[in-house]
């Protein structure tokens, strides 16, 4: 699995663009709270930028940077023990101010 975002963008904006984290399938960890949600949040940043919502994108990015700078909020793939829910709640709390 990975934490990088990707965007499939129609630069002419005739068709919808799609934003998602780059990752594979991990059915073995499904429902266990082990997945790192950071790629999803970074994908949201790309989506917001694409839509021209620069302030909102910056706010989400600051939250991601804040959370990823705290080793206590690293999931197992980054050498930590935080759960998917803990990281998600931390990012959302930081976005909410």
Residue 55 belongs to some domain of the structure: yes
**What domain range includes position 61?**
5-9+34-96
Provide the pLDDT for residue 1: 64
Give the model confidence (pLDDT) of 3-39 as tens digits. Answer: 899 999 999 999 999 999 997 788 898 999 999 999 9
Grade residue 2 by pLDDT with cuts at 50, 70 and 90: confident
Residue 15 belongs to some domain of the structure: no
Provide the pLDDT for residue 75: 97
Q: Which of 80, 95, 91 is nearest to 39 (CA)?
A: 91
Q: Give the integer Cα–Cα distance in Å for 58 and 91.
A: 13
Residue 76 belongs to some domain of the structure: yes
Provide the pLDDT for residue 26: 84
Q: Give the integer Cα–Cα distance in Å for 2 and 23.
A: 5
Q: Give the integer Cα–Cα distance in Å for 5 and 22.
A: 6
Residue 46 belongs to some domain of the structure: yes
Residue 81 belongs to some domain of the structure: yes
Helix (H) or strand (E) holding 62, with range, is helix 54-68
What domain count does the chain have?
1
Residue 61 belongs to some domain of the structure: yes
pLDDT above 90 covers a percentage of the chain that reads 88
Please check whether residue 76 is in contact with residue 69, taking contact to mean a CB–CB distance below 8 angstroms: no
């Amino acid at each position: 699995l990975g934490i990088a975002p990707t965007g499939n963008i129609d630069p002419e904006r005739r068709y919808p663009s799609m934003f998602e984290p780059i990752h594979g399938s991990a059915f073995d960890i499904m429902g266990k709270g082990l997945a790192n949600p950071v790629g999803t949040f970074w994908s949201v940043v790309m989506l917001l930028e694409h839509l021209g919502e620069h302030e909102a994108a910056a706010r989400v990015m600051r939250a991601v940077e804040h959370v990823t700078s705290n080793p206590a909020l690293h999931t197992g793939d980054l050498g930590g023990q935080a759960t998917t829910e803990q990281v998600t709640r931390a990012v959302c709390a930081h976005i909410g101010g």
